[in-house]
Amino acid sequence: MPEWVHSIVKNPKQNLLAGESSPYLLQHASNPVDWFPWGEEAFRRAKAEGKPVFLSVGYSTCHWCHVMARESFADPATAQILNRHFVPVKVDREERPEVDEIYMTATQLLTGGGGWPNSVFLTPEGKPWFAGTYFPPADRYGQPGFPTLLDKLAVLWRTRRGEAEAAAEQIWRELEKTVSSPSPPAAEPPGMETVDRGLKELKRAFDRERGGFGPAPKFPPHSALRLLLAEYRARQDPSLLEPALVTLRAMAAGGIRDHLGGGFHRYSTDSRWFAPHFEKMLYDNAQLLSAYAEAYELTGDVEFARVAREIAGWALREMLDPGGGFYTALDADSEGEEGKFYTWSREEILDLLGREEGELFCRVYGVTPEGNWREEHSPAAERTNILYLPSPANETARDTGLEPEELESRRTAAGKKLLAARDKRVRPSRDEKILADLNGLMISGLARAGRVLGEPGLIASAREAAKYILDNCWINDRLRHAGRGKTAGGHGYLDDYAFLAAGLLDLYDASGEERWLSSARALADVARKLFRDPDTGTFFFTAAGREGQETVSLFRTCDPYDRAVPSGNGEIALVLTRLAELTGEGIYREEARNLLRALSRRIQAAPRAAATLLLAALRRYHGGG
């Protein structure tokens, strides 16, 4: 056992997580729960003692992870049950995304839903037999609280262990089929009929009144926007542009946008983009930066340019490491309350701005005396307001009798005063991991926005971020996933290689500097060696023989579908296609073609969910490849 483990064991106030570097794991280092980090030690203990493993997966800025931590993991009585009957394991999903992917898919198979914290009960061999997400601390609404559930599952394991293990084996087989088994390759890559079907699905799901594609909760639809804007550029079909622009305008008007500090929150809990889940993720804002910049390029609408500049300004002000890389996320909570940092009472605004300017600001941003937001878990939310734009600026100017330019000048000046006051509040915590994949997305966003907006400073920031990642995470021709300061660790995943290569290609487009093309090509060439399945042409998420998979025999997954970030398979297909165009080397085009052939049936089964792969197919189609 490492020396630091002995020192922690001697300190009853800390558990084994105190030796980890993950901000999320360190948040739980003082829990009375005897947490283990993911690794062989935990599973050896489970096998030796005949106990099931309780796996809890989350991340440092996750609101409901904090809630369950306060209610259950910090509670000595609940911890005693966990420690007695289970081997508890904590995982940071952002540091170990391959573990998160497997067990989140298991939770979805078992429950029909998912989310974080992800709570999965495993056999000592790592196979899931029961799962859920957040569990409350006490029985309510006919549902068991977490302590009750733990007691029941402990009895089940003790008295019917064989049944639990048999169920786990069945789930494991289904899981392998779901995440790891590609369909037989098709004769050809997806054609325009598949692309058109995906576009028709998006149009059918489009909410014409409020924007977005589907009901609440509404997440920024990054991949859908990217596909629609790219295909509009190729076809000049207004029916492709309309859903993208309506959605971008609705999000920009809603409370999901931080109207004072720039950037966007994670998602909207309602259908009109008004009430957000307040955490701010680098990956959302990087992709939205690209989307708003491209919308400006296609339409000339200066409001899109304004939003893009605000996103970039937020990232450079609040998420930038002194070395040039970008941090991962900001928490939703401060002072134990979600959204407290971002919301306002009308009285606060009038006190800060004076009555005349304050009332104008309140009118512009929908602020009411009684408050426009309620959250049942946050009693202090009474009389609290989320800033949003209930009316377009020209209508507000007309209704107030002001010229649009004067209204804009006054609301900008007021916003700066309120932002300065807000900056004195207790700030949400920041996850200062620097992840190669997410920095790749931000390099893309900054490079594209800098080129479109004519802002060389943004291109320079993209250049510094690229230099930081290559200097600190590209070690001996291998990419490391996570960095802090000048220390990088964790073997790179497909997303790290694909997203960073894409970002470097966008930086090459914006700057014309050959070194970025050369580095992108080097990343793609290593990715082809580490992740490509020579039998099928698909790319796995993890490299063959990746360290850490020996803890549990995790499947090498091959996912064609976009989620909060693009599909790694889709992005590497785009990278290979772009490299073929730039270098003239046919091997890149051929491997992109084989990848699309290998995943064609899965794309056809759910084309809307595979938007990035459709983009790769479209690029080949429009390029004649």
**pLDDT tens readout for residues 44-56:** 999 999 999 999 9
The pLDDT confidence band at residue 180, using thresholds 50, 70 and 90, is confident
Task: Judge whether residue 466 has pLDDT over 60.
Answer: yes
Measure the CA–CA gap between 275 and 65, rounded to whole angstroms.
20
Is the pLDDT at 380 greater than 60, yes or no?
A: no
Give the residues across from 280 on adjacent strands.
Answer: 330
**Closest CA relative to residue 506, chosen from 449, 553, 430:** 449
What does the pLDDT read at residue 484? 73
Between 182 and 227, name the one with better pLDDT.
227
pTM: 0.94
CA distances from 498 to 376, 503, 527, 567 (A): 42, 9, 8, 9
Cis bond upstream, residue 217 (ω within 30): yes
Residue 377, pLDDT above cutoff 80? no
Q: Cis before residue 12, ω within 30 degrees of 0?
A: no
**Mean pLDDT of all residues belonging to the chain:** 93
For residues 560-579, give the mean pLDDT: 97
The whole-number average pLDDT for the span 447-460 is: 98
Gap between the Cα atoms of 332 and 245, Å rounded? 27
Residue 8: band (very low, low, confident or very high) from pLDDT cuts 50, 70, 90: very low
Query: Each residue of 32-46: pLDDT tens digit?
Result: 999 999 999 999 999
Residue 430 pLDDT: 96
pLDDT tens per residue across span 184-204: 888 889 999 999 999 999 999
Which residues pair with residue 54 across a beta bridge? 88, 121
pLDDT surpassing 50 at residue 114: yes
Contact 275, 267 (CB under 8 A): no
Q: For the segment 254-283, what is each residue's pLDDT rounded down to a tens digit?
A: 999 999 999 999 999 999 999 999 999 999
Q: Give the residue-averaged pLDDT of 387-396.
A: 94
pLDDT interval class at 6 (50, 70, 90): very low
pLDDT band at 543 (very low <50, low <70, confident <90, very high): very high
Residues 6+ apart with CB under 8 A from 256: 220, 264, 265, 267, 268, 273, 274, 276
Residues contacting 624, CB < 8 A, separation 6+: none
**What's the pLDDT at 473?**
95
Q: Name every residue whose Cβ is closer than 8 Å to that of residue 290 and which is 6 or more positions away in sequence.
A: 226, 444, 445, 448, 449
482 falls in which pLDDT band (50, 70, 90)?
Answer: confident
The whole-number average pLDDT for the span 558-564 is 94
- The pLDDT of residue 71: 96
- pLDDT digit string, tens, across residues 230-261: 999 999 999 999 999 999 999 999 999 999 99
Span 571-583, pLDDT tens digits? 999 999 999 999 9
Average pLDDT (418-438) is: 97
The answer on pLDDT for 319 being more than 80 is: yes
pLDDT score for 18: 94
What is the set of domains in the chain, with CATH numbers? 3-180 (3.40.30.10), 192-341+431-623 (1.50.10.10), 346-424 (no CATH)
| pLDDT in the model for residue 375 | 54
Average pLDDT (113-122) is: 96
Q: Is pLDDT at 96 greater than 60 in this prediction?
A: yes
pLDDT digits 0-9 by tens, 514-535: 999 999 999 999 999 999 999 9
Does residue 545 have a pLDDT over 90?
A: no
Query: Which pLDDT band, with edges at 50, 70 and 90, does 11 fall under?
Result: very low
Q: How far apart are CA 398 and CA 175, in angstroms?
A: 58
Say what percent of the chain tops pLDDT 70.
94
Question: What does the pLDDT read at residue 409?
Answer: 96
- Residue 532 gets which letter from DSSP? B
pLDDT of residue 260: 98
For residues 571 and 595, what is the distance between their CA atoms, to the nearest angstrom?
11
pLDDT at 548 over 50: no
pLDDT at 5 over 70: no
Three-state secondary-structure class, residue 90: strand
SS3 label, residue 477: coil
C-alpha 65/C-alpha 57 separation (Å) is 9
pLDDT at position 187 is 85
Radius of gyration of the chain measured on its C-alpha atoms: 25
Q: Give the mean pLDDT of 328-334.
A: 95
Tell me what pLDDT residue 486 has. 61
| pLDDT band, very low/low/confident/very high, at 1 (cuts 50, 70, 90) | very low
Percent of the residues in the chain that have a pLDDT greater than 90, as a whole number? 88
Token pair recorded at residue 273 = 């983009």
Residues facing 92 on adjacent strands: 58
Whether 44 and 53 have beta carbons less than 8 Å apart is answered as: no
Categorize the per-residue pLDDT at 621 as very low, low, confident or very high, splitting at 50, 70 and 90.
confident
